[in-house]
């Protein structure tokens, strides 16, 4: 065992925990009695009807295999493949998110560079930031009159704050020496912003973007449960209404996997812009 | 006095000192620097050397007075005045080469990319950086190598005036020696005008044509301008044997140790504080020429710092 590296040992431990957990889960689900074992009385009182219960992992894995082997089928409004549902959710998250980035990063730059703008905008930010993004939903639905656009708006409003605040913080914290280098090289304001301040503040800005994408992915599930129609959040709620708990568990896992992938993508971006002083 | 290439005229800097009062760092400082001259300024901390440097660089504005370069008033930073900062001020996300091309591309926007890279590589090799090292980030370079990059960036831009703010202050003594040699080498190939702040007397004697001495603050002033009468090219192991070396060194140590305090805090009113020129040349004395050394040679004694 000592000859294995830390990574190898960690992988083995992960597998042991996974298999152990699945076995405990499988074993703790009471088996349904076969029809031949039922007494006359049980059959008369409906004991033979399958009881809704938490499905064992074997069923979830089977379901996952079935769904993932054909993720993009479309058999009507309430029967779409998991790939289509996730694609709808990603489309909403990314549109709302990039709209937020388009607004938050320039305003963050402004706030970071101008103390006046910071002091003027700070009260608004402090009031708007703690509002649960879903609280905007009724207003958004009323004004926009479109459920899909309202969901995108909710993503926009929830992902704007971490990006805005981190951009302002990163820009304000750029070392004055580096700004002086730009000044002694007669760089104009736009060139200074792009070639000195942006790369200097990039690690902080990307950290804010990473927090934002995480929050956006959390919020989209709830938003889609409300607006309905399509998306992974709607899918979870729809399968709950169908009492198909196997699909519910499967989609919960898929939400986790996609969230992890989004975070990993931003983690990679973060490493790309990092520098050592 | 006829206008020098760089002329500092009645420069005064005051800062608010808390209780609504004004703290005068220096007052009516006036001196000139000729084209191609290497001038060092020596003085204790707090006498306003860095403030003068920032005003020359255009990064700060004086309370009153003016800086004229080539007869034109200096206002704001400019590519004509290159700065090497004490903490190197390299951009940490760029490689050594990119840090230099950054400056060269700003100075010569019309140059092709290849020409910018070629020019930058040439200046990096002049300070002894080539091969793989120029593609490393500043964090992967030693302090000495970082300052070399910073010097290469400044020289590659051919500024009319090069400002060095204690460039070797953060380096160990041995590295400092090597880079001083690099600086002398790169400087002697150009006719670059240099103004440098330093704390190190030996460094100043090795590098400078003239050393400006500042009294302590507040109300600091540039009291003396000491000519370094040691011929170039200078080598650190040879100049110490020159008869003028210890005479000049002792004069400087004496000034910094006692006279900078005695002369401190003397308000001179509105008159211009032009430094007194001091020339110490033992060789001329030996020939029987008139020496304008203010203090007789018999008063010069070896002082160890």
**How many CA atoms lie less than 13 Å away from B25 in the CB half-sphere?**
20
B39 in any annotated domain = yes
Candidates B89, B160, B162: best to mutate against A (most CBs of A within 10 A) is: B89
Domain CATH for A223: 1.10.3720.10
Number of structural domains (chain B) is: 2
Nearest CA in chain B to A195: B102
Residue A180 to residue B93, Cβ atoms within 8 A: no
* Three-state DSSP string of chain B: CCCCCEEEEEEEEEEECCCCCEEEEEEEEEEEECCCCEEEEECCCCCCHHHHHHHHHCCCCCCEEEEEECCEECCCCCCCEEEECCCCCCCCCCCHHHHHHHHHHHHCCCCCHHHHHHHHHHHHHHCCCCHHHHHCCHHHCCHHHHHHHHHHHHHHCCCCEEEEECCCCCCCHHHHHHHHHHHHHHHHCCCCEEEEEECCHHHHHHHCCEEEEECCCCCECEEEEEECCCCCCCCHHHHCCCHHHHHHHHHHHHHHHHHHHHCCCCCCCCCCECCEEEECCHHHHHCCCCCCCCCCHHHCCCCCC
Domain CATH for B250: 3.40.50.300
Residues B49 and B186 in one domain: yes
CA distance B198 to B202: 10
B86 in any annotated domain = no
B1 in any annotated domain = no
Residues B148 and B194 in one domain: no
The answer on pLDDT for B133 being more than 60 is: yes
Q: Mark which of B109, B135, B158 sits at the end of a domain.
A: B158
Number of structural domains (chain A) is: 2
Residues A19 and A151 in one domain: no
Q: Give the mean pLDDT of B70-74.
A: 87
Residues A14 and A141 in one domain: no
Residues B214 and B100 in one domain: no
Q: pLDDT tens, A151-166?
A: 999 999 999 999 999 9
Under 8 Å between Cβ of B296 and B246: no
Give the range among A57-66, A199-208, B21-30 with minimum mean pLDDT: B21-30
Residues B288 and B145 in one domain: no
The answer on pLDDT for B240 being more than 60 is: yes
B106 CA: distance to closest CA in chain A (Å) = 6
Residues B213 and B256 in one domain: yes
| pLDDT confidence bin for B297, thresholds 50/70/90 | very low
Q: DSSP state, A194?
A: I
Residues A60 and A126 in one domain: yes
Residues B12 and B27 in one domain: yes
Residues B148 and B259 in one domain: no
Residues A40 and A59 in one domain: no
Q: pLDDT tens, B2-37?
A: 578 899 888 888 888 777 788 888 888 889 999 999
Residue A184 to residue B79, Cβ atoms within 8 A: yes
Residues A163 and A65 in one domain: yes
Distances (CA, A) of B275 to A87, B28, B206: 77, 11, 21
B71 CA: distance to closest CA in chain A (Å) = 20
B88 in any annotated domain = no
Residue A181 to residue B91, Cβ atoms within 8 A: yes
Q: pLDDT tens, B243-254?
A: 899 999 999 999
Residues A104 and A150 in one domain: yes
Q: Mark which of B102, B133, B158 sits at the end of a domain.
A: B158
Residues B33 and B106 in one domain: no
Q: DSSP state, A81?
A: -
Quote the domain boundaries for residue B273: 6-80+160-299
Nearest CA in chain A to B81: A184
CB pairs < 8 Å spanning A and B: 54
Residue A183 to residue B77, Cβ atoms within 8 A: yes
Residue B106 to residue A186, Cβ atoms within 8 A: yes
Residues B63 and B181 in one domain: yes
Residue B77 to residue A184, Cβ atoms within 8 A: yes
B212 in any annotated domain = yes
Quote the domain boundaries for residue A221: 55-273
Residues B69 and B203 in one domain: yes
A161 CA: distance to closest CA in chain B (Å) = 27
Residues B71 and B120 in one domain: no
Residues A37 and A78 in one domain: no
Q: Mark which of B158, B184, B200 sits at the end of a domain.
A: B158
Distances (CA, A) of A227 to A222, B94, B102: 9, 47, 51
Q: Does the model's ipTM exceed the 0.90 cut?
A: no
B47 in any annotated domain = yes
Residues B75 and B196 in one domain: yes
Residue B78 to residue A186, Cβ atoms within 8 A: yes
């Amino acid at each position: 065992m000592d000859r294995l590296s830390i990574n190898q040992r960690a992988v083995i431990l992960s597998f042991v925990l996974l298999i152990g957990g699945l076995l405990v889960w499988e074993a703790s689900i009471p088996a349904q009695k076969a029809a031949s074992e039922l007494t006359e009385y049980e059959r008369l009182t409906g004991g033979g009807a399958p009881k809704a219960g938490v499905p064992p992992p074997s069923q979830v894995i089977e379901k996952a295999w079935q769904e993932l082997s054909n993720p993009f089928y479309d058999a009507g409004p309430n029967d779409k493949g998991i790939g289509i549902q996730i694609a709808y959710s990603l489309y909403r998250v990314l549109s709302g998110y990039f709209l937020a980035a388009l607004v938050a990063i320039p305003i963050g730059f402004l706030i970071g560079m101008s103390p006046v703008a910071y002091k003027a905008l700070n009260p608004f930010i402090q009031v708007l930031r703690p509002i649960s993004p879903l609280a905007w939903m009724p207003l958004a639905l009323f004004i926009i009159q479109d459920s899909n656009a309202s969901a995108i708006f909710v993503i926009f409003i929830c992902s704007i704050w971490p990006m805005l605040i981190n951009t302002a913080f990163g820009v304000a914290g750029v070392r004055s020496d580096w700004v002086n280098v730009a000044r002694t090289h007669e760089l104009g304001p736009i060139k200074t912003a792009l070639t000195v301040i942006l790369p200097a503040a990039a690690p902080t800005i990307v950290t804010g973007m990473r927090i934002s994408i995480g929050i956006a992915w959390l919020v989209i599930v709830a938003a889609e449960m409300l607006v309905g129609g399509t998306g992974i959040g709607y899918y979870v709620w729809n399968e709950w209404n169908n009492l198909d708990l196997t699909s519910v568990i499967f989609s919960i896992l898929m939400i986790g996997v996609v969230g992890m992938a989004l975070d990993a993508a931003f983690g990679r971006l973060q490493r790309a812009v990092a520098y050592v002083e | 006095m006829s206008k020098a290439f760089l002329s500092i005229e009645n420069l005064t800097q005051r800062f608010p000192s808390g209780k609504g009062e004004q703290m005068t760092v220096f007052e009516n400082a006036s001196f000139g620097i000729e084209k191609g001259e290497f001038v060092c300024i020596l003085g204790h901390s707090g006498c306003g050397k860095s403030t003068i440097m920032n005003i020359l660089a255009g990064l700060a504005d004086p309370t009153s007075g003016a800086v004229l370069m080539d007869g034109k008033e200096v206002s704001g930073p400019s590519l004509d005045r290159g700065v090497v900062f004490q903490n190197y001020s390299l951009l940490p996300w760029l490689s050594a080469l990119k840090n230099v091309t950054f400056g060269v591309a700003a100075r010569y926007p019309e140059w092709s990319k290849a020409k910018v890279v070629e020019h930058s590589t040439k200046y990096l090799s002049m300070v002894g950086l080539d091969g793989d090292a120029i593609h490393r980030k500043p964090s992967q370079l030693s302090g000495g190598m970082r300052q070399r990059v910073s010097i290469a960036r400044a020289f590659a831009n051919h500024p009319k005036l090069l400002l060095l703010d204690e460039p070797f202050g953060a380096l160990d003594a041995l590295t400092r020696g090597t880079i001083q040699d690099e600086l002398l080498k790169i400087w002697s190939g150009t006719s670059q005008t240099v103004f440098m702040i330093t704390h190190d007397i030996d460094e100043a004697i090795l590098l400078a044509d003239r050393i400006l001495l500042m009294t302590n603050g507040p109300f600091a002033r540039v009291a003396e301008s000491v000519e370094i009468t040691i011929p170039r090219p200078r080598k650190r192991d040879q100049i110490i044997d020159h008869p003028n070396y210890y005479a000049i060194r002792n004069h400087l140590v004496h000034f910094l140790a006692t006279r900078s305090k005695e002369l401190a805090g003397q308000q001179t009113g509105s008159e211009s504080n032009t430094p007194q020129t001091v020339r110490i040349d033992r060789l001329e004395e030996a020939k029987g020429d008139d020496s304008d050394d203010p203090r007789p040679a018999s008063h010069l004694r070896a002082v160890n710092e």
